[in-house]
Amino acid sequence: MLTTVPSKTLGAEILLVQSRWQNICYRGAWLLEKFWLMLFGAVTVVCWHYPLSLLLAWVLPAASMLVLFGVITLWLMLFNRGDGKLIEFGVRLDNAGICIIHYGESQFIAWSELRAYRIEQGLFWPRKFQLKLGDGSVVEFGYLCLSKRQRQQLCHELSCRLGQPLDSLS
């Protein structure tokens, strides 16, 4: 369920992989964030007696997102198993840098490119990890993508490797 390779020393490879349950919860939270905005819009349309066509403009996208979420979740639960299992979300740290894996696609960031990290508070919803690169760009991924233990391990490793206090971005 929780896949981590513990690191006692710098240089050891660490692989933090999101569990199936974490993936479902994260995608559900993301959907809920989007869905409540659409639901609010639909209720507003009904309360102000706008035409039915305007209501459908809110309900159909919300319903299609729910169906898409259900189909993807069902596919992952039934078919994403065994040796060929697709990593839904993961972070790999090694001597060369950090690699963010999202549905099998990797984004590699060398340690020399990484300047700082922080945990960004969202306006209404979940926080995000932000990695600041040397060129000023920022790479983000969801705070809830990893378990509490995995987040603590990631923060510890990033702080040690970057020589910065926990959760700072300058």
Q: Which residue has better confidence, 91 or 56?
A: 91
Give me the mean pLDDT over the 66-95 stretch.
79
Does the pLDDT of residue 82 top 50, yes or no?
A: yes
Please tell me the predicted confidence (pLDDT) of residue 63. 76
Bridge partners of residue 16, in order along the sequence: 91
- Contact between 102 and 126 (Cβ < 8 Å): no
Please tell me the predicted confidence (pLDDT) of residue 162. 84
Kindly report, residue by residue over 128-145, the tens digit of the pLDDT: 888 999 998 999 988 888
Confidence of residue 50 (pLDDT cuts 50, 70, 90): low
Please tell me the predicted confidence (pLDDT) of residue 97. 93
Closest C-alpha among 129, 126, 128, 122 to residue 159: 129
For a pLDDT cut of 70, what percent of the chain falls above it? 75
Kindly report, residue by residue over 100-129, the tens digit of the pLDDT: 998 889 999 999 999 989 888 866 666 888
Does the pLDDT of residue 8 top 80, yes or no?
A: no
Does the pLDDT of residue 81 top 90, yes or no?
A: no
Please tell me the predicted confidence (pLDDT) of residue 31. 73
Q: Which long-range contacts (CB under 8 A, 24 or more apart) does 113-119 make?
A: 114/161, 114/162, 115/162, 115/170, 116/162, 116/164, 116/168, 116/169, 116/170, 117/155, 117/158, 117/162, 117/164, 117/167, 117/168, 117/169, 118/167, 118/168, 118/169, 119/143, 119/155, 119/167
